Amino acid sequence: MAAAVSPNGSAPRCDHLDGLSPVPPRSDGCHSCQELGAGWVALLVCESCGWVACSDDSPNQHAKAHYEETDHPIARALEQGTRPRWCYVHRRPV
């Protein structure tokens, strides 16, 4: 039996995408970084709740911290068209 293919090409399909509905971003920046007076490299939006946080490429990695606190598995780039969604459970693009 052939494995299902994800929308991003040959990577295995991620079941964490099932049932996700579009969620608008709740802000236009990483609130945690703003409170610290810190900057970020890129911003991610939680696909479960719309929380916006700095990416794993940023010094504080607040999107990863959000996943660890909430178990919300999928995040996408705030800026459209920049990169695929990321699954924190599988640690790969989806």
In a domain, 62, yes or no: yes
The total number of structural domains that make up the chain: 1
In a domain, 37, yes or no: yes
Q: What is the CATH number of the domain that holds 53?
A: 3.30.40.10
Q: Which two tokens stand for residue 34?
A: 């703003």
Q: Range of 37's domain?
A: 24-93
pTM: 0.82
In a domain, 8, yes or no: no
In a domain, 13, yes or no: no
In a domain, 17, yes or no: no
Say what the pLDDT of residue 1 is: 44
In a domain, 58, yes or no: yes
Kindly report, residue by residue over 3-25, the tens digit of the pLDDT. 444 455 566 678 888 888 889 99
In a domain, 12, yes or no: no
Q: Which two tokens stand for residue 69?
A: 């606190």
Say what the pLDDT of residue 10 is: 61
Give the closest residue to 56 by CA, choosing from 46, 65, 47.
65
Kindly report, residue by residue over 33-86, the tens digit of the pLDDT. 999 999 999 999 999 999 999 999 999 999 999 999 999 999 999 987 767 789
Q: Which residue has the tokens 């703003």?
A: 34
